[in-house]
Structure formats: C-alpha cells, structure tokens
Structure 1
Amino acid sequence: MNDDNSFNDIEIKKNTSALKDIINGSIAGCFGKIIEYPFDTIKVRLQTQGSHLFPTTWSCIKYTFKNEGIKKGFFQGISSPLVGAAMENAVLFLSYNQCAKMLDNQTYIPEVTPLTKIIISGAFAGSCASFVLTPVELVKCKLQIANIQNNSSSLLKPTRILPTIKNTLTQNGVFGLWQGQSGTFIRESIGGVAWFATYELMKDFLKYQRHDKENKTWELLLSGASAGLAFNATIFPVDTVKSVMQTEHLGLKSSISLVLKRQGFAGFYRGLAITLIRAAPANATVFYTYETLSSM
C-alpha cells in the first residue's frame, strides 16, 4: 500500500512539473513575442523583398511607418505568432526539461556530461518545437508582407489570419501549412542547442564567479539576452531561407538559389542587425519570466 502511495506521489509530481513548464513557458513566450514582433516584421520584409525596395533597414522602417502605421504595419498578423510563441515556449521548456530528466535517470548508456545533456536536450527541444512553429510562422510571414504585395499587384492577398489560413488550405492543402518545415527543423534543432547552452553556461559562469548558489536578476537577464544573440547569429541564414520558402512557396534548394540570385551571399544576412537588436530584450524577458514563475 505504501509503495502504491509513493508511486502515485511521484506521478503527481511529474505531472505538476510538466504542467508548470507548459504554463510558465507559455506566459514567458507571449511576453517575449510582444517585445520582438515589430522588429521581426522588419526582418521578414528585408529577408523576402529585394534591395530595390528596401536598400537598408532604416528605409524599411520608414516605409512601414509612413504607409501602414504602427498597428497595421509593425504588428500586422501578431495574433498568430502570439499563440505560436505560447505553444513554442511551452514545448521548448517542457521537452528540454523532460529530456534532461530522462538522461539523468537513464541506465542503458554511460553517464552523460552536463554539457552533453544540454546539447542533446536543446536539440531535442528545438526539433519538437519546429513542428508547432512552421504553420504559425508561415501565416505570420505571409501577413507581414501582404500589404507590400497588395501595393504592387492587382491580385490581393488576405491581410487577416483566418482568410490567410483558408487561402493556404485552398491552394496547397493541409500540408501547405507546413511549407518550410525542413528549414524550420534545421533552424530550431541547431538553434535549440545554441539557445539553451548559451543560457545555462552563461548563468553558471556568472554564478561561479561570485561563488554563489543563486543568480541575481541582472545575471538572468544577461544570460537570456546572450542566448538570444547566440541563437539568431547561429541560425540566421537558415531562417532567411525558411522565410523565402514560406512566402514564395518554394523548396529548400530553390529558395537558396533565389536568395543567391537576388542578393548574393550577403542576402542570407539581410535583416541580421535588427534581429540581433530585438533578440537581446525579447529573450532576456522570456528566460527571466520563466525563471521567476518557476521559482514561485
């Protein structure tokens, strides 16, 4: 009887821990997305539109503000990625922590080092999140450039979420929502390693320097900001290809060729500067919010 009670207690703790990861990750993701979204709109426009339209980042910002305003321009289509950010971060933190716990408890392979555990768990978390992210980002990217396309074409593109989804399903079927999955999978698997590894290593380093067991607030913020910079700097060319795949409805190889044809090798890095600017505060917010909620 006591064994049964102990087993039930363990199961309850596991379920509670998983539920906390889902809730805390969702809230953290929403806060981070609100901060980063205007920057992301500019990034996607630079990635998918030629330099004849936007020769510089500043020209893209001025065009968006002048012609579309703040809400319609910078925050066009935010509802979809807001839901996506909640789902993404819930999946990221849940799968990362579950994978790490599995590696701690496994007995069938030699004990893994802390760094190896972070790398495996980060890659696993990123790959899981990619399946949630692809349809969300496809809708987001289409909405972020819809106003530009409508200004230059008589064939109007939908500028709201549901019509965009319906249009995608009509033209390409259900699997059309996962256009660009290969690009997202590669990006998130590699990025997951960079994201979690940078955060964990930076956090431990700062804590070790002070010979303390707990991190201060500024250390969590700095570690989160560093993780965001590392993630985006590592995967940005893949993200560019993914954006082209989703907005042009092309395959991986065709998208790479199109970027090279339009801009050359530098085209893979169009929008990197503004992405790094947004990455620091957004990811600092995500990790700090998650850590704060988890400690309650």
Structure 2
Amino acid sequence: MEFSAGICAGVAITLSGHPFDTIKVRMQTGHVHSLFKCIKITLQADGLRGFYYGVAGPLWSVPIVNAVIFGAYAQANSFLGNQNSFSNGILAGSYAGLVNTIVVTPIELIKCKMQVQSHNQDIGRAIKYKNSFECFKHVFKTEGIRGLYVGNVASIYREIPAYAGQFAAYEGCKTSLKWFLGRDEIPLYWLFLSGMVAGLNCWIWSYPQDIIKTRLQVGHEVARGWDGGFYNMGKLIYQESGLKGFWFGFSACAVRAALANGCGFLSYEISMELIKHHWAEDPIIKNH
C-alpha cells in the first residue's frame, strides 16, 4: 500500500516542484544567485519550457523514488512498532534515506545535467542533450555505471539527515495536533501544512550536502578519493564563496520544498485512505 501511495505522492511532488527545482540547480551552479533574477533570466532565455528542462526523467523516476522512500519508511516503522512518533520518524527516516540513495543518485545526475542547460550562459551551460534519455545514453556509454553514480557519497550524506528530519517533523506535527484536538482525525489542510514543515526541515539539514552533490554531478572537476570528491568539492566551494556558497539557491529550494512536500504528503495520505478502503471492500484483495 505504501509503495502505491508513494508513487502518487511522487507524481504530485514532481509536477508541483520541478520549476523551482530547476531554478535551485541553476542558482547552485551558475553565476546568478538571486531567486527572482534567475526566474526572469530563465523565462527570457528559455521560456516557460525552461522551467521544465529535465522533467521527463523525474516524472517517471521520482514516483519510483518516493515509492522506495515511503515503502522503506513503513518497513522500518513497522519494525520499530508502528508508533508514528517523532523518534521513530528520525530512525525510520534515516533508514529510508539510506535505501533511497541506490535509486536517487543516477536519477538526479541526469536531472541536474539537463537542468543546467540553457541558452543563457549566466545560469547554465550550452544545450548538449535533447532529452533525458539521450543524456543517460551518453553518460552510460562514456563512463559506464560508475559515471551514473558520481556524487553517491554526497547523496548518502544528504539523504540520511534529510529524511530523518522530514519524517520526524511530519510525525511531530501530526502528533501535536492529535494531542491538541484530543482525537485521531486530522484535517486535510493540516496534513498539507505538516508536509510543508516536513519539506523545509528536510532541506535545512541537507542543503549544503546537496550543493556539493550537484556540483560534482554536473561536472565540476576536483580530485576524488574514497569520498567521491565530497571533501575537496566542499573545500573548493568554501574557498570560492565562503559559508554562503553552501546556501546558494536555498530560496528556490525552500519554495519548492514547502509546495511540493505539502502536495506530496497530502497526496500520500489521501491515496493511503483510498487504497485501504478498496482493500477492505474488495474480497479478492482482502483474502490475499
């Protein structure tokens, strides 16, 4: 059930959040670090289509990613006793983040390479690939499986605290309202708001790691040791821009995180209720 509901959540997250995700990646890797200026230049250089560069890959892959996340989270939470508590959110969320790195690293590598393409070189690079599949073929042909997993260590460092923070915040918000109201039923608007808080908390704990991952994946060259270049890229970013360099694009990320995760968690909860209802009423499903 969680796997299917996670797919629905992934579709909602992709459609609502991809434009701001594109702006985030361009702010992380280009020369423009102002949210509204980057939006303006993207619109002028690439039109509305520019906000959805690279969306083909996430549209089929992000639902799978979210299915993995919610499925792994439910599995870990079940092992911990299905308490849906703040502490379980941290532990089960950490496990979900670790499992997710297997799937998310190659997906984000292709997505980021597509998103940095632009007709304006201040916010991106020259357009090289027509679509995500062409980008995938080129990376696989020239670098193999290893090329698809560039930035994987950075993904691990990002995903574990990200989903620990996300699910802990979501469970904490829901538990707080249940305590305040004295009942288990939660209004839909609160699920949306809880998702927004969860999304913001997710990125607060993981954004610096995300910048390092993005710059590694789009081809910024540094020496790569056992950590895939994580330390050296972090050092380079600090030398170039100081601590603020680890937060370029966070404004776009915050808008995207709040909107997309609000929609995603709301979609997940509604899908779970519909699936449970169907499960209870369909005798074939019920008996199996």
Q: Same fold (TM over 0.5)?
A: yes
Alignment partner of 2:46 out of 30, 55, 68: 68
Is 1:201 paired with 2:178? Answer: no
1:47 aligns to 2:28 (yes or no): yes
Shift of 1:249: 5.2
Residue 280 (str. 1) matches residue 274 (str. 2): no
Matches within 5 A, 1:22-101: 22-50=3-31, 54-71=32-49, 73-101=50-78
Contact 2:86 2:171 in 1 (8 A): no
Contact 2:117/2:125 (<8 A) preserved = no
Structure 1 residues 77 and 154, CA gap change in structure 2 (3 angstroms): closer
SS in 2 for 1:147: coil
Using the TM superposition, give the Cα deviation of residue 49 of structure 1 relative to its aligned residue in structure 2, in angstroms: 1.4
Q: CA RMSD in A?
A: 2.2
1:216-236 Cα shifts (integer Å, max 9, x gaps): 111111111100011111211
Give yes or no for contact 1:149–1:156 (8 Å, CA) kept in 2: no
Deviation for aligned residue 1:147: 2.3
* Residues in 2 aligned to 1:130 and 1:196: alpha-carbon distance in whole angstroms: 17
* Superposition deviation, residue 258 in structure 1: 2.7
> 1:149 Cα shift?
7.9
- Preserved CA contact (<8 Å) 1:147 1:159: no
Unaligned regions of 5+ residues in structure 2, if any? 222-228, 275-288
Q: Distance in 1 between matches of 2:116 and 2:149?
A: 18
Q: What is the CA distance between 1:143 and its match in structure 2?
A: 0.4
Q: TM-score with structure 1 length normalisation? A: 0.84
After superposition, give the CA deviation of every residue in 1:204-255 in whole Å (9 maximum; x if it has no partner): 1012111111111111111111000111112111111110010125421232
Identity of aligned residues (%): 32
2:195 to 224, 230, 244: 224
Rounded Cα–Cα distance in structure 2 between residues aligned with 1:197 and 1:229: 12
Contact 1:131–1:185 (Cα < 8 Å) also in 2: no
TM-score, scaled relative to structure 2? 0.87
- Describe the shift of the 1:262–1:31 C-alpha distance in structure 2 as closer, same or farther (beyond 3 A): same
Structure 2 distance, partners of 1:234, 1:153, is: 26
Distance in 1, Cα, partners of 2:3 & 2:171: 19
Q: Tell me the alpha carbon deviations over residues 14-51 of structure 1, each in whole angstroms, 9 at most, x when there is no partner.
A: xxxxxx2111101111111111100000100111113x
Matched-pair contact (CA < 8 Å) for 1:45–1:145: yes
Q: State the partner residue of 2:225.
A: none
The residue aligned with 2:283 is none
C-alpha separation between the residues in 2 aligned to 1:255 and 1:145?
18
AA aligned opposite 1:104: G
Q: What letter corresponds to residue 248 of structure 2 in structure 1?
A: R
Q: Is the 8 A contact 2:116 2:124 kept in 1?
A: no
8 A Cα contact 2:33 2:249, kept in partner: no
- Kept after mapping to 2: 8 A contact 1:150/1:156: no
Alignment of 1:1-296 (within 5 A): 20-50=1-31, 54-71=32-49, 73-104=50-81, 114-147=85-118, 157-248=128-219, 250=221, 251-296=229-274
- Distance in 1, matches of 2:125 and 2:107, equals 26
Aligned residues: 267
In the aligned structure 1, how far is the partner of 2:26 from the partner of 2:124?
16
Sort the Cα spacing of 1:137 and 1:55 in 2 relative to 1 into closer, same or farther, 3 A: closer
What is the Cα deviation at residue 184 of structure 1? Answer: 0.9
Kindly report structure 1 stretches of 4+ aligned residues shifted beyond 4 Å: 148-156
Decide whether the 8 Å contact of 1:28 with 1:287 is kept in 2.
yes
The answer to which structure has the higher helix fraction is 1
Contact 1:123 1:190 in 2 (8 A): yes
